Chains A and B, each alone.
Chain A
Amino acid sequence: MISGIKQICGKELARVFKDGKMIFSVFFLPVVIMIVVMSLVSNMSKKAEQDVEEHVSVIFVEHAPADFEGFLKQAEVSCEIRPVEDKEILKEQIRNGEADLWIEFPENFTESVKNYQKGDEIVQVKTYYNPSEEYSRAAFNMISSGALEMYRQALLAERVEDMQQLTVFTVNSDNPDMIIQDDQKAGGKMLGTMLPYFVTILLFAGAMGIGTDMVAGEKERGTMASLLVSPIKRSSIVLGKVSALMIISGVSSVVYVAAMVIFMPQMLGGASGEDLGVSLALSPQQIGMLAVLLVAIAFLYSAIIVLVSVFAKTVKEASSYVMPMYMLVLVLGIMTMFTTNTPKSWFYMIPIYNTSITLQGILTQEVTFAQYGMTLGVTLALGAVLVGVIAKAFESEKTMAI
């Protein structure tokens, strides 16, 4: 029995690992594509950000107080100030992105502010911008909520002698120790939201192509029958194929994760892991728990893919059957990325979903042994049931189409 499983598994592994093209397409190509795409995206968004930063805002100011331009220069706000000529044209210019911001001071702004008496109406400064234009939005943030606030403070200081009296209290103006957190846990949080998502998806994606070829492909090529007339049990064939698939998907996910960690800075456009608060310091216990769980997940996914492939006549058919399963894994992975609630106990009984929340729980050190055990048990049990179903399907002449 064991020797049969070993032989089948060995042949399936040889098919992938002895073929340079296969190694390239299964292990390297996805990594290369991922890194190239991610770095491209992050570089481009960084470039766009830089471009916005470097852009000199075009600001139209109406009834500008005499000292306003000087104030902006002093505050080192890079902008080009122009007087307003025609309001309608200006509106159109803002709409199509030629002008970034329009500041409308009331007439006699300086006098109104200076001659303020108790009970007078408070003067209003209006700003207009276009939030769907990057430059305009940046100018609005920089000037409307930044520079104008500073300008207000400056004018206020002229009016009131003792500014301290107005402040009443400050919040955290001198408190460098304001953040109290467990650094390891925080690192886990960041990693915990991303890693389960990527790992489960990569495990599935890595096994998908090879798995459908392993069973449906073998049926399609007519090579399955040669295995069926050899003196090994059908269950040995199934277990051999499932374990080969586990190894392949395991290796590919390790390659992907390693590549992700190594190339993380490039992919995030130069920011290193430490800047992001990601610490990869895992305790031996965490690593052990992760490893065992990942093996169980690889087993379940492999079983799912083989099961689907058994009922397909061709690789093409199998691929289309696998797709909905892949979608399911994707959606369940995304769900853990955006859930902040503590998972309820019965969540750990939902196959596939439980593995994602447990992976997250291990990284944030929030999972209990009972929850971990439940997840592991459910995953392995479901995998075993599926292998049983596959073995039954192998016995059937109909599904084997011979």
Chain B
Amino acid sequence: MSMGSSTKVSSSALDIERIRKDFPILKRRIHGKPLVYLDNAATTQKPQQVLDALAHYYEEDNANIHRGVYQLSTAATEKYDTARQKVSSFINARASHEIIFTRNSTESINLVAQSFGRSNVSTDDEIVITHMEHHSNIVPWQLLCEQTGAQLRVAPIDDRGQLKLDELERLINSRTKLVSLVHLSNSLGTINPVAEIVQIAHQNDVPVLVDGSQAAYHMPLDMQSLDCDFYVFTGHKLYGPTGIGVLYGREALLEKMPPYQGGGDMISSVTFDKTTYAELPNKFEAGTPHIAGVVGLGAAVDYINSIGFDRIMSHEQDLLTYGTTELSAVPGLQLIGTADRKASILSFVLKGVHPHDVGTIVDTEGVAIRTGHHCTQPVMERFRVPATVRASVAMYNTRDEIDVLVRALFKVREMFPI
């Protein structure tokens, strides 16, 4: 793994101007103003390196994988397999066949719910999640509970948006079949102590799934030190293409799990009497996969590695600190989610103004932020707000952009005085 290009960056600081040049969309103007893109928790923008990899794949290497004996198919297969190895090293998995490609985090969770869940969970068993989960880590388990008669247990959070660890621990018992929780909350920014939770769960022989959709682009991931059993994330939040997601699973568990979907490429042999399934990872990748997406994801991983998470994290933490201070100057602004361990997600409400009005007004200043419940309605209910405004920061954002946001919020205040 190459960590950072030291040729252009002499210090450990992030070369923000160089990075911004890598993202063509950042040159766009919205309503005549420079785009200030602060909706990275929804999806991140794509660097030229990823766009080039996609174009190059279709222009030079396109063929179906695992099929032909001809050179082009071999080249496509090689690219696909190489990208899997890149993703495997990116999260420090033990082996690349522990990486399963899916459409997105949602599909990864559904795969585990239906494959692992249906073969391990039965009536009166329990699945433990937390109050800060995205709908994608709630609904698949509700479906599983409906199918099996199992119960969903929800670990509460405190007023700052932090998980109540002791209560989570109390929920784990002999009926618990899985703990599934988010690594980094998309609506609060909270970073959960995943390694500690995994330890608690493992003491009770309970496997843990971690939803890393947000964590994957904010912090380095190490499956060996986290020691979780499943980890899911998605390419499009990782500066990669849409439509490509990842499920990491511990080999021993994946081996025991039945296939999620049946079709081509996931079999070893098919007769009308009996079909035998392919080895990992193919067992879980039925049909022609999103080959270009996988290649693009590999390029995104290369890109992140070339910058280095040490630089990315210190830059984003600086923007979080700066943004938190600057936002507090806006009259009537209340942050939702003020955990001790937090990533660069600033969720807030403005007294007397609905988030959608905020969103429309700041958009006219070129600022793209998310307004709504962020697919975490239970979190909104917990904080008794219908919705929040969310500014989420990625590696290419700047202090100047935070200033533009804050000035735009003062304009909102002008129109909606307290």
- Do A and B come together as binding partners? no
